[in-house]
């Protein structure tokens, strides 16, 4: 099973992604984690992405596609994937779809996590404090939410139009959100 998990920063993609991947026996691919690993490793891609990430802007499509799509294809060929944080724009979605179709790695479902804006900010700032994430501060959070609204929110309509979208109220307990997601996924 191949699943995309989308939603604004702080909506619980990472938490739900790990839980669902474990429950479904598929690989969890989190683009934020993949990018941070590249930054920590000091790769060329990591250095390119670091300054962009620090400002809260989106990493360019070609960089993200080069990082993510080989992992998506490999996971799909195995047991499947749960991809969180990608794509972040309709153009990324179209490019990823073209690449995925060539390898029979397209998503079976897209889950959108909805959370009120005030709760998103509270969650992100709490996470920044507990995890020491320098890329999460008040200014960057506001910018990341603006970028999400401009670039990523149109994905909801894109995937709804393709008949893949499932909208989930993610302003509930982790267990309730997980149960709601599992209930909408295609049965194996």
Is 127 catalytic? The answer is yes
Alpha helices in 2-107 (DSSP H): 13-24, 31-41, 44-55, 61-77, 90-102
Q: Among the options 122, 127, 160, 172, which is catalytic?
A: 127
Given 88, 94, 172, 187, the catalytic residue: 88
Report how far residue 77's alpha carbon sits from residue 111's, in angstroms, rounded to the nearest whole number: 21
Which candidate in 122, 133, 160, 172 is catalytic?
Answer: 133
The radius of gyration of the chain from alpha carbons, rounded to an integer in Å, stands at 16
* Number of neighbours of residue 11 by Cβ within 10 angstroms: 25
C-alpha distances out from residue 56 to 52, 90, 100, 133, Å = 7, 19, 27, 13
13 catalytic? Reply is: yes
Cross-strand partners of 29: 83
Catalytic residue check, 36: no
Is 47 a catalytic site residue? no
Question: Which one of 13, 73, 117, 172 is the catalytic residue?
Answer: 13
Clarify whether 133 is annotated catalytic: yes
Contacts with 42 (C-beta within 8 Å, 6 or more apart), sequence order: none
Q: Tell me which residues are annotated as active site.
A: 13, 88, 127, 133, 144
């Amino acid at each position: 099973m191949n699943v995309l998990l989308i939603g604004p920063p702080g909506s619980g993609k990472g938490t739900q992604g790990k839980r669902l991947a474990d429950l479904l026996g598929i690989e969890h691919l989190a683009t934020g984690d993949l990018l941070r690993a590249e930054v920590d490793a000091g790769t060329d891609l990591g250095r390119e992405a670091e300054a962009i990430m620090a400002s809260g802007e989106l990493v360019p499509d070609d960089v993200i596609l080069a990082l993510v799509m080989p992992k998506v294809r490999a996971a799909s060929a195995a047991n499947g994937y749960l991809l969180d944080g990608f794509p972040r724009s309709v153009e990324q979605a179209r490019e990823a779809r073209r690449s995925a179709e060539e390898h029979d790695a397209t998503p079976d479902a897209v889950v959108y996590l909805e959370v009120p804006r005030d709760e998103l900010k509270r969650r992100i700032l709490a996470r920044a404090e507990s995890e020491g994430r320098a890329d999460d501060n008040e200014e960057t959070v506001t910018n990341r939410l603006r970028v999400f609204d401009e670039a990523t929110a149109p994905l909801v309509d894109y995937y709804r139009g393709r008949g893949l979208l499932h909208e989930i109220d993610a302003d509930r307990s982790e267990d309730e959100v997980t149960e709601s997601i599992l209930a909408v996924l295609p049965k194996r």
